[in-house]
Amino acid sequence: MGEEFKEFTLEEKKLFNLNLGKDYCRDCGLCLPCPRKLNITAILRFYDLYRMYDLKDWTKKLYRGLEVNADECDNCGICEPKCPHQIPIRKFLEEISLAF
């Protein structure tokens, strides 16, 4: 079955052609551990779903299940230099605190 795959159809390419930009978390975990115990990758994943896919109610529910929320960030900045994609983690954590 899988051996028969040749290429995506034009319709499939359009469906999967997401322009996520450069500022989305790829969930590599290199920003961790956080001294404040924030699960940065989960928080950023929820934020990506919130802002890119308009899944606001669902992601807010998931976010509320975290032990430590973004508003616990003390802005130490330890995470940002570790991110290979230069995501503005502290800026996003601040935005998440306001949005959620």
**Is the pTM of the predicted complex or chain greater than 0.85?**
no
Task: With respect to residue 6, please indicate whether it lies within any of the assigned structural domains.
Answer: no
Least Cα distance to 99 among 66, 58, 36, 56 occurs for 56
**Alpha-carbon span 27 to 13, nearest angstrom:** 24
Is 22 within the bounds of a domain?
Answer: no
Which of the 8 DSSP states describes residue 81?
G
pLDDT of residue 22: 77
Domain count within the chain: 1
Asked whether residue 59 is domain-assigned, the answer is: yes
- The Cα–Cα gap between 63 and 60 comes to 5
79: containing domain: 27-99
Q: What percent of the chain has pLDDT over 90?
A: 65
pLDDT tens for each residue of 4-47: 767 777 887 676 666 666 788 889 999 999 999 999 999 999 99
User: What's the mean per-residue pLDDT of the chain?
Assistant: 88
Separation between Cα atoms, residue 54 and residue 58, nearest integer Å: 9
Q: For the chain, how far is it from start to end, CA to CA, in angstroms?
A: 44
Q: Does 12 reside within a domain? A: no
- Is 54 domain-assigned? yes
pLDDT given for residue 54 in this prediction: 86
Residue 3 lies in a domain: no
